[in-house]
């Protein structure tokens, strides 16, 4: 599906409208597709700055924005076996009161976890490539990640909480690892409608 749309373009801290750009919803790959089990290829600096990568990042952000419960998307999930993932964490129906300082918008390119801190905690996880199931997955509460951003700038930063959890899920995708591989508590597997019910209940409590 191709949609011509006004698009927000970030330039530094300024946000501008760009009426000429096009964005499309990318077809998602689902569990069972071999691309989700492959090791993704790293991008060179030149690749990162290419028009194709810029367009792919814009399309991935657009695709993710259209998925109500998605907080991250890795390139293999849209059929590109490259080491690129998008994170977009903000308040949603299931997370209505997520404080603004916990919102995040990131493009992680060639990301590597260089350090894990402390213990792991279990949080419910789902995946855009397997929309029907959720389960508790143990992940480190705090990690240190080295990565390139979309301008090919290198970063090495600490992340914690939900963001650290999501980053670990997305980096797994780049290594052909899926969240179901990491579930320890098999009895925690639930359907999407059960998950939504629980989140609604947790909100009231
Ligand atoms: Zn996933």
| Residue 76 maps to a domain | yes
Instruction: Calculate mean pLDDT across residues 63-86.
Output: 91
Q: How far is the CA of 16 from the centre of ligand 1 (A)?
A: 30
Distance 20 CA to ligand 1 centre (A): 31
For residue 9, pLDDT over 60 is answered with: no
Residue 22 in any domain: the answer is no
170 is catalytic: yes
The chain-wide mean pLDDT, for the chain, equals 88
State mean pLDDT over 148-170.
96
Task: Tell me the CATH number at 68.
Answer: 3.90.45.10
Give the pair of three-digit tokens for residue 166: 């999501």
Tell whether 23 is covered by a domain. no
Residue 11 domain-assigned (yes or no):
no
- Domains contained in the chain, number: 1
How far does residue 86's CA lie from ligand 1's centre (Å)?
11
Residues 119 and 135: their CA atoms lie apart, in Å, by 19
Name the active-site residue from 88, 125, 150, 170. Answer: 170
In a domain, 189, yes or no: yes
Would residue 153 count as lying in a domain? yes
Report pLDDT digits (tens) over 94-145: 666 778 888 889 999 999 999 999 999 999 999 999 989 999 999 999 999 9
The reply to whether 120 falls in a domain is yes
- How far, CA to CA in Å, does 157 sit from each of 80, 147, 160, 176? 26, 9, 10, 24
Quick: pLDDT tens for 164-184.
Answer: 999 999 999 999 999 999 999
Range of the domain at 50: 33-204
Report if residue 2 sits inside a domain: no
Task: Specify whether the CB–CB gap between 83 and 47 falls below 8 A.
Answer: no
Compute, in angstroms, the gap from residue 131 CA to the centroid of ligand 1. 9
Q: Which residues of 24-36 are buried (b: 16+ CB within 10 A; e: fewer)?
A: ebbebbeeeeebb
């Amino acid at each position: 599906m191709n949609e011509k749309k006004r698009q927000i373009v970030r330039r530094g801290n300024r946000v501008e409208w760009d009426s000429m750009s096009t964005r499309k919803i990318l077809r998602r790959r689902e569990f069972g597709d071999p691309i989700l089990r492959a090791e993704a290829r790293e991008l060179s600096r030149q690749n990162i700055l290419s028009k194709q990568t810029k367009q792919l990042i814009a399309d991935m952000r657009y695709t993710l924005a259209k998925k109500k419960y998605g907080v991250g998307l890795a390139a293999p999930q849209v059929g590109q076996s490259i080491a690129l993932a998008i994170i977009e964490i903000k308040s949603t129906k299931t997370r209505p009161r997520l404080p603004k300082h916990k919102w995040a918008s990131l493009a992680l390119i060639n990301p590597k976890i260089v350090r894990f801190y402390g213990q792991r905690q279990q949080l419910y996880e789902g995946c855009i490539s397997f929309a029907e199931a959720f389960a508790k997955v143990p992940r480190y509460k705090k990690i240190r990640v080295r990565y390139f951003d979309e301008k090919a700038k290198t970063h090495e930063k600490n992340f914690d909480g939900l963001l650290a959890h999501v980053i670990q899920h997305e980096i797994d995708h780049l290594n052909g690892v899926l969240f179901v591989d990491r579930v320890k508590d098999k009895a925690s597997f639930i359907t999407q409608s059960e998950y939504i019910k629980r989140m609604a209940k947790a909100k009231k409590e």
